[in-house]
Amino acid sequence: MSTTGRRGSVKQSANGSWFFIIDVPSRDLDANGKVKRKQTRRRGFKTRREAQAELTRTLGTLGTLTYVAPQNQTLAEFLTTTWLPAIEHTIKPLTFQAYRRMLRRHIIERAIGGMKLQQVDGPALNIHYALLLAGDGTYEALGATTVRNIATILHRAFRDAMRWQAVSRNPVEASDPPRPSVSPEMNTWTAGQLHTFLEVARDHRHAAAWWILGTTGMRRGEALGLRWSDIDLEKQQVKVQRALLTGEGGKMWSSPKTKAGKRVVSIDTETVALLRSHKARQNEEKLALGAGYVDDDLVTAQEDGQSVSPTRITEQFGRIFRRAGLPHIRLHDLRHTYATLALEAGINPKVVQEALGHSHVSVTLGIYSHVDQKMQASAAALLAAMRKAASEVAT
């Protein structure tokens, strides 16, 4: 039979099973410059009807240019030798390292990595998701959010595999990755507790980092990436242009992922005063060490001028707030504290959004919905009071 010029035939093997032969696209040319004829076979059908049905389907994919030639490449081979090298230059270094690390440990080294790329389907992925969630003697159980992130990475990998005609469909779309049941718990300090922390941290070597984190809502890496050239003490402004991050290759500098992440943040007069004092102490260290000082213009630096490890900053944060007798929060919760206090103080959510570097105000209000609800309740009470006052005037 033939469809749109393609030829194929069904035959029976000596063992009684059925197979078909079909002409498939070829890019090879003969000595005369003509396209060589290329055929492929599909074996193992129990009946002639099954073989004929698959032949008809395959001829249809050839007609619509969706045919994918059978391959023996495994999922692990595709990810390691094809996909990861192809995308490395398209994403940020730290993101690439995260992709490679997660895929190696949770896909490539596992049984599913040994499956043929073209045989991975929705049910196989669902079984793997369950294994990741359960864990075993070798691998620890993963949370739903992490497993879903792995599924997201695989979705992109299979999407590219489709573009490169290595597979005919994206199996992740037929799978059911777990949905995180709850958002990570957010703990914040009151204005009084934040004030206590900043006062206790005032004499710390890295006081500038603590004050910037507590009064601007910056992320840890952003605060550690600040240079003095990013700060205008006269205008009381700080430019957020990069972040100090850690990955498999050690420390690295990363620019903001979004346009909104690159921003200008205002600082108060007390923070300005602390920064001036901090800079004076740092200049003394620079003079004392002379040529031994590594002058990278960093606001938060070690005694010799080199950058401070984000992990070290987190550890020091814990020691400071425990010494101050404050409730336990994560370092990242300083950012949440800033946002919560700003919104509760009645600062326009758009201003808070821009300070945090969120792409849209809806993102800010979505994260801090508990504050938004308080704001709505206050607004409703205020409007009710206004209506009551107006009615009393009218009468």
Looking at residue 249, its pLDDT comes to: 59
* Residue 103 confidence (pLDDT): 96
DSSP string, 47-89: SHHHHHHHHHHHHHHHHTT--------BHHHIIIIIIHHHHGG
Q: Which residue has the tokens 């200008």?
A: 264
What average pLDDT score do residues 353-368 get?
Answer: 90
In this prediction, residue 214 carries a pLDDT of 95
Question: Which tens digit of pLDDT belongs to each residue from 100-114?
Answer: 999 999 999 999 999
Residue 268: count of CB within 10 angstroms of its CB: 12
Flag whether pLDDT at 344 surpasses 60.
yes
pLDDT at 1: 45
Verdict on whether the full-model pTM lies above 0.75: no
One domain for residues 18 and 127: no
For 138, counting Cβ atoms within 10 Å of its Cβ (0-12 exposed, 13-18 middle, 19+ buried), the class is exposed
Percent of the chain scored above 70 by pLDDT? 87
For residue 245, name the pLDDT band (cuts at 50, 70, 90). Answer: confident
The lowest-confidence range among 31-35, 139-143, 190-194, 223-227 is 31-35
Residue 65, pLDDT above cutoff 50 = no
Q: Which amino acid is at 326?
A: L
- pLDDT at residue 198, as a whole number: 96
379 falls within a domain = no
195, 342: one domain: yes
Q: Could you tell me if 120 and 155 lie in one domain?
A: yes
Q: Quick check: 188 and 340 in contact, CB under 8 A?
A: yes
Can you tell me the mean pLDDT for 106-124?
A: 94
Average pLDDT over residues 200-216: 94
pLDDT at 182 over 60: no
My answer on whether 259 and 337 are in the same domain is yes
Out of 230-244, 253-267, 273-287, 288-302, pick the least confident.
Answer: 253-267
CATH number at residue 153: 1.10.150.130
| pLDDT band, residue 216 (cuts 50/70/90) | very high
Token output for 253: 């500098």
Is residue 199 predicted with pLDDT exceeding 80? yes
* pLDDT confidence band for 10 (50 / 70 / 90): confident
Q: Of 93, 151, 99, whose CA–CA distance to 125 is shortest?
A: 151
Confidence of residue 256 (pLDDT cuts 50, 70, 90): confident
In a domain, 179, yes or no: no
- Residue 80: exposed, middle, or buried by beta-carbon count in 10 A (0-12, 13-18, 19+)? middle
Shared domain for 209 and 342, answered yes or no, is: yes
Average pLDDT value over all residues in the chain? 86
Domain check: are 57 and 80 in the same one?
no
304 within some domain: yes
* 274 and 324 within one domain: yes
Lowest mean pLDDT among 38-42, 87-91, 235-239, 348-352: 38-42
- Give just the sign of the alpha carbon dihedral 168, 174, 175, 178: positive
CA distance 366 to 388: 32
**Strand arrangement of the beta sheet that strand 263-266 belongs to:** 231-232, 237-240, 263-266
Domain that holds residue 198: 191-373
Residue 325 has pLDDT above 90, yes or no: yes
3-state secondary structure of 45: strand
| Closest-CA residue to 334 (of 172, 174, 189, 199) | 189
Specify whether 354 is located in the same domain as 309. Answer: yes
Q: How far is CA 215 from the centre of its chain?
A: 26
| Residue 38, pLDDT score | 67
- Catalogue the E-assigned strands of the chain: 2-3, 6-12, 18-23, 39-45, 231-232, 237-240, 243-247, 250-254, 263-266
Q: Mean per-residue pLDDT for 219-246?
A: 94
For 223-233, letters b (16+ CB in 10 Å) and e give bbbbeeebbee
pLDDT score of 354 more than 60? yes
Q: Which pLDDT band holds residue 2 (cuts at 50, 70, 90)?
A: very low
246 found inside a domain: yes
Is residue 184 included in any domain, yes or no? no
Give the total number of structural domains in the chain.
3
What's the confidence (pLDDT) of residue 181? 63
Residue that wins the pLDDT comparison between 155 and 63:
155
Percent of the chain past pLDDT 90, that is, above it, reads: 57
- Residue 302 shares a structural domain with residue 361: yes
What's the Cα-to-Cα distance from 301 to each of 75, 128, 250, 278, 304, rounded to whole Å? 44, 44, 17, 11, 8
Alpha-carbon span 359 to 258, nearest angstrom: 7
Q: For residue 278, is it within any domain?
A: yes
Q: What is the CATH number of the domain that holds 344?
A: 1.10.443.10
pLDDT of residue 5: 44
Tell me if 209 sits within 8 A of 222, measured CB to CB. Answer: no
